[in-house]
Structure 1
Amino acid sequence: MNIDKTPIEGCYLIKPKVFKDDRGSFMETYNSQTFTELTGLNPKFVQDNQSVSAYGTVRGLHFQEGKYAQSKLVRVIEGEVLDLVVDLRPLSKTFKKSFSIKLSKENNFQLFIPRGLAHGFSVLKQNTIFCYKCDNFYHKGSERGIRYNDPELNLDWHLNQDDMILSKKDKDLPTLREYLDDRKAQG
């Protein structure tokens, strides 16, 4: 397993070693000892989630805040996505920076997303299966998000606007500026 730093502080790209033969393939998708040795982090994952999405679906940008913030380890087991993160940690050297990478069944890449980052993905192949581990349980009252088309972030989802399928909830999310202003007003 190779673990590479990304341009976002604390966010890592994981490239599992895949062993193939006549029978098929095998890979270790996660090893806490190796992950800790290579990153210095030791997340305790408590919840696994999975979604199946049609081509053009955009999910995000989502996160939980406060004591319910979550780190995630995400991967694709069928299909392909463009995975995006935005650093929302004001004290981070990479505050407001974004990073994206394609995750697919073919490349088997995984992305570790630390707490304090907004996360989303766009689906680039029909019937994509996306899986992720979380180090904290889902808490509806702590769920937040940033609008996918925030002009300040200027994110490229690798889809035409006409092909995008979004939930009403994701369309109505605040911009990053609106979110930060609201957070500041709350003290």
Structure 2
Amino acid sequence: VFSFMQSYLFSRNKHLVDFTHKVAQKFVFEGKHEEAIPAALHSLRFSIDTCGPDSVELVPAYLILAEASTGLGRLTQAEEYLSQAQWIVLKTSDCSNGIQSKLHRNLGLLYAAKGNFEESLYHLATDIYFASCAFGTHDISTSGGYFHMANVFFRQNKMDIADSLYTEVSSTSKFI
């Protein structure tokens, strides 16, 4: 009976992690950053309860929290969430390329929002590398990194580079 209850509780918490993460992600996609934070915090709490405080399973919740905080202009808070995610990724020897891609994309977007374009470009290039390893060079996930890099170059008024990256994005979208 005890192991059945443990299994049931684990399964229930895993479902709650997935559900609250999807809700938070939906709010972020809709631009409802304030509404995303409670759902992402619940996802984080359920992830901690299910997998422990140092599990790589916490990273997606930290990334959603960072993205929502960035969207609200709370850059210091976003940086704290990304630091937590980065620490977990650094301690995890078998972290997936997909997770590392998402982490570096979020770091790139944070540094772009802060106006630190060189650091932003470094993380976006790293995002593209990990996305290419995880999904292939012509996947929509990889082209997102090119798009964000193009935006950074555009903000730097480096139009030739921005245009070439936007062209890369549009040629990738033909494969979708």
Q: How high is the TM-score relative to the length of structure 1?
A: 0.28
Task: Identify, as 1 or 2, the structure richer in helix.
Answer: 2
Q: Which structure: larger Rg? A: 2
Task: Identify, as 1 or 2, the structure richer in strand.
Answer: 1
Q: How high is the TM-score relative to the length of structure 2?
A: 0.29
Query: Higher relative contact order by CA 8 Å / sep ≥ 6: 1 or 2?
Result: 1
